[in-house]
Amino acid sequence: MKKLLDILTFNLYNIRINKHKHGRKNMADVAKNYTDEMVEAMVASYNDAPSPATVAALAEEFNKKPASIRAKLVSLGVYKAQKRNTTKRGEPVVTKAELAAQIEAAIHVSSGVLPSLTKLSKNDLQTLLVAVS
State the pLDDT at residue 4. 63
β partners of residue 86: 92
Q: Which of 10, 6, 13, 68 is nearest to 39 (CA)?
A: 68
State the pLDDT at residue 14. 55
State the pLDDT at residue 18. 56
State the pLDDT at residue 74. 92
State the pLDDT at residue 81. 80
State the pLDDT at residue 22. 56
pTM of the model: 0.49
3-state secondary structure the chain: CHHHHHHHHHHHHHHHHHHHHHHCCCCCCCCCCCCHHHHHHHHHHHHHCCCHHHHHHHHHHHCCCHHHHHHHHHHCCCCCCCCCCECCCCCECCCHHHHHHHHHHHCCCCCCCCHHHHHCCHHHHHHHHHHHC
Q: Which of 70, 75, 14 is nearest to 46 (CA)?
A: 70
State the pLDDT at residue 118. 85
First to last CA, the chain: 92
Question: Which positions of the chain have pLDDT values less than 50?
Answer: none
State the pLDDT at residue 45. 93
